[in-house]
Chain A
Amino acid sequence: MTGYVVRRLFQMALALLGVSVIVFALIHLVPGDPVRIALGTRFDPDIYEALRARAGLDRPIVVQYFAWLGSAVTGDLGVSFRSGQPVAGLLLERLPATVTLAFSALFVALAVSIPLGIVSAVRSGSKLDYLSTATSQIAVSVPDFWAGIMYILLFSLVLSWLPPSGYVSFLESPVEWLRHLALPALTIGLISGSIIFRFVRSAVLEALNQDYTRTARAKGLSERQVIWRHVMPNAWIPIVTVVGLQLGFLLSGVIIVEVIFAWPGIGRLALLAVQDRDFTVLQGAVLLIAFMFLVINLLVDLLYGYLDPRVRYD
């Protein structure tokens, strides 16, 4: 087992390296220049050249990459072109907001999708099943930015139940934290939940049609025992896979929702970095997201070992 984990960690490092190369190449290939943007539309060619030289932007790309890599492995992710602040600090500042939103959205998603999915599968073909499937179809098709703004207009402007945007830390006021979290979590959670719902439903359906389910029923077990002792343990595996993927997606800081709800997360930071061609911040943000994604993947794989006795890691 330890051997497996060590191998996976090594693969993670390789994956992160690959990601860093791709991001570096992409952002340098796109036209646009952080120094010119930082100087604004009023600039002087001499100052421009001087700043570029100072930032090392006139060196060949490969040299720049290895210079960045060299500092990155020691933990120095560089400094933002836009603000002059250390990248690591910027990321850490915004991480709590993104993580909070990601896990809350996941909570909403699971609270909706798992019960509904199980019931829909068990009562497959019933009106409930059709209604849930249809609703989830609509929910997935609705663009998140539109849904978000609609919720704001309804719950904030019309009903005045919730604040329209912003983030309040839990430590400052748990009540306000929840009130500000509700709409963005709902916006993403319902969409994510709809995706998970379909997987839950099909995973449970699949397990319900297996021989072991028929055997369990034949043995005279109650429906509840059949579901929880035989069907679900098998259904968990594909469900956990998709939940892991969704969580990874959520942690990338759903950019659009962060912008609409003025949520101070990593997604918004990354968007600003792209607009400003702020290479260092973008590298840092993408690497952080990739890292979190890979860690979740690893945890999901390890979770299989716990859920499925057939899985062995050696």
Chain B
Amino acid sequence: MNPLYQVGSWLVDAYAKLRDKLSPGWLERNRSRLVETKLSIYVFTTSKIGVTGLVLVIVTLFLAIFGPVIAWEPYDVYPVLLNPDLAGKLPHPPCLGSCEELPAAGTDHYGRDVLSLVVRGFRISLVMSVIIVVTSAIIGVLLGLVSGYFGGVVDEVIMRFTDMMLAFPGLVLAIAFSLTLRPALRDFMMTNPVFTHAVAYIFALNPEDAPNLANLLSVFLALIIVWWPPYTRVVRGSVLTVREQGFIEAARALGLSVRKILLRHLLPNIISPLLVMVTFDFATATLSSAALSFLGLGPQPPVPDLGLVISQAGQFFPERSWWIVVEAGTALLLISLGWNLVGDALRDVFDPRTRRSIELRAKIEVRP
């Protein structure tokens, strides 16, 4: 067995033991579910793609959390202002070892160390993509559950609305919303310093820079508005399928409350495809928010948004800024790739055929 699986398996066992201590007999009742979970972990850890993705995701998470702390240069200080004779040499290409006080990884046209910016950029990218996807998923799933379960007028209204949203090219709509929301957000943030500080803290940015934070948030909210419809569609579809299978009628006949039916019977059935969708969406959201920043709708300098950094480098491209594009671009690539690889492996994990074939090769047990 591979070591990664052993770690996962040990975790499952430990969790099982704990639950069993709290409520004796839990382990026996949930034995098959535990075995299935272990199988999922096994299938995932035997996939080269999955493990590589997991490594990338862990690195991304690490840099996102600790990036602003370990970054060695502040993002809002422009060396060129402090040291005007640098101006002619900027942006300076990377030089390994031999360039006085200039950073080894190259600078941008303000004189900032590109690598340090990129490290800071992970935080923004990750926070944006995760919150966008999770929020839209929650909204979308709830709407889908409601729409599919209640049917009738409720369903019609929700679906018409969803279809209309889906009919639009997402990027265009996001641009429009981002612009719409900006002034309102700006005002709101000016009058609510607590909120502004909270946002600044999450993104590791300067709370004084309210307009830029507003820009950031506008992109963020715009993407959420555009992102939820596919979830509603998918969830509603699953609900309708499950309905046809008669679970719901049976549960209703037994007198179960609506909430219980939705949560305990529907949700587990759709959790697997949802999980895969969410993982892939993390990658897409990373790229979409970077794209919006690239077009200039997101925060403005000095915020170390990866998309912004690349678009700023555009003016000096290629001879005088290729390293900026390479460094920031690779960061974006690796973040998305990590999520995409994990999502791909997860899809295999949940595919019954591959599961069974791998299961028969391994012997999975839960030790009491």
Do A and B interact? no
Q: Which residues of B contact A (CB under 8 A)?
A: none
Q: Which residues of A contact B (CB under 8 A)?
A: none
